[in-house]
Amino acid sequence: MTVSQSELDIDWTMVVDDEGLAAASAALAAGSGPVAVDAERASGFRYGGEAYLVQVHRAEAGTFLIDPIGIPDFSPLQRAIGDAEWIFHAASQDLPCLASIGLVPSRIFDTELAARLLGFERVGLGAIVELLLGIALEKAHSAADWSQRPLPAEWLEYAALDVVLLPELRSVIAEQLAEQGKTEFAAQEFEAVRLRPEKPRPEEPWRKLSGSHALKTPRALALSRELWEARDALARERDTAPGRLIPDSSIVAASIANPRSPGDLARLRDFKGRASRSELKRWWAAILRAKTTEDLPGQKPRDPDSIPHHRFWAQRDPAAAARLEAVRSAIDAEAAARRIPVENLLTPDTLRRLVWRPPADPTAENVARRLSELGARDWQVGITAPIIASAFVDLP
């Protein structure tokens, strides 16, 4: 029998200032068991990835919805829960924005990642809660603009449910991990997520423009660079997601068209977005800089650690292609037997890098060493190294 969200009786306390945070922190410190944590951002609406709501729940303490806007110091909360296990659903999405306000867990349990290791086809919170707890959630506000104030009551109820159900979900999932012999696998994956460093900002972030592969000349690349930097500066100034001003496709279209006047730019059908005409002078100034600069970028430098796309291996290195086919087939079979998605057993990138440049003597020990160098966890290495070494041996 499935229970609907409307049948649940959920209470929460709203925290909006230092005094409220002190009271919430004291209650959470006195609670018991792990702490369920979630954060809501305004991705697609604001420039950065800051948290605009932090939800925390603990047994014998209650549920707290914390508005970070009026709270400059989260150290009382960190002291209260820092030593406890924090339960997340998809921790990698929330850890960076929590760290930016001083909230850093010492250990985590990730119900979404654990569900993947258990072999569930659907691992979203709503799907897992309904399957394992028999509760149907309404996931209507996950993509909302959480920076708006005041927050609607129905949004707050949604946010509270995101953490209230996590402890029970964690217990059920932990039992299934134990039954399948995957408790240690999950523990290593959780720790890898917790310790994963934030990706450094690219030296030339404008090269990440979607569709930039269509830019073939140095002048077109210069146009895209100057337009990207103008958009980024305006987005930062307005605290607005860059794509809400003009989308990447508009920058690429203008860079290819290389308009000869502001009028040409305004008439360009593919140059659109809420600021495409209101900020026309800004975009034209960027285009003029690109037209006159002598600093013309070339194509993106090749990463010395990169490997060819595997689609072309058969032409470039038939032996490598044969190795990949044999190894991938063996890994796929092992993943299916263990009911683990193949990308969780060993990431495709790790597998391809190993196969492209295998150890000179591909024994299980040497394969294991190389896998560890590539970032595979111990449990992944223990399972896959012998399989890969055996596949190498069986090659004709």
Express each pLDDT in 82-94 by its tens digit.
Answer: 999 999 999 999 9
Residue 4 has pLDDT above 60, yes or no: no
| Per-residue pLDDT reduced to its tens digit, 252-261 | 999 999 999 9
Under the banding of pLDDT at 50, 70 and 90, the label for residue 140 is low
- What whole-number distance in Å separates Cα of residue 134 and Cα of residue 227? 50
pLDDT of residue 199: 85
Mean pLDDT of the chain: 94
Tens digits of residue pLDDT in 189-227: 999 999 999 888 888 999 999 999 999 999 999 999 999
pLDDT at 48: 92
**pLDDT in the model for residue 394:** 73
pLDDT digits (tens, 9 = 90+) for 222-233: 999 999 999 999
Residue 198 confidence (pLDDT) = 85
Res 302: pLDDT: 76
Query: Hey, what amino acid is at 202?
Result: P
Cα separation, 12 vs 160, whole angstroms? 7
Long-range Cβ contact pairs of 68-71 (< 8 A, separation 24 or more): 68/101, 69/149, 70/16, 70/17, 71/15, 71/16, 71/17, 71/18, 71/21
- Average pLDDT score over residue span 309-323: 92
pLDDT confidence of 1, banded at 50, 70, 90? low
- How does residue 171 score in pLDDT terms, banded at 50, 70 and 90? very high
Residue 245 above 80 pLDDT? yes
Q: pTM to 2 decimals? A: 0.92
**Residue 396 predicted with pLDDT over 70:** no
> Mean per-residue pLDDT for 97-107?
97
Q: What is the pLDDT of residue 301?
A: 78
Report, as an integer, the average pLDDT of 351-355.
Answer: 96
Tell me the per-residue pLDDT of 144-153, one tens digit each, with 9 for 90 and over. 899 999 999 9
Instruction: Extract the tokens encoding 202.
Output: 């690219």
For residue 325, count CB atoms less than 10 angstroms from its CB and return exposed for 0-12, middle for 13-18, buried for 19 or more. middle
Q: How confident is the model at residue 143 (pLDDT cuts 50, 70, 90)?
A: confident
Over residues 266-303, the pLDDT tens digits come to 999 999 999 999 999 999 999 999 999 999 998 887 77
Q: Is the pLDDT of residue 2 over 70?
A: no
Tokens linked to 229: 């930097």
Amino acid at 347: T
Which tens digits make up the pLDDT trace of 36-76?
A: 999 999 989 999 999 999 999 999 999 999 999 999 999 99
% of the chain surpassing 90 pLDDT? 87
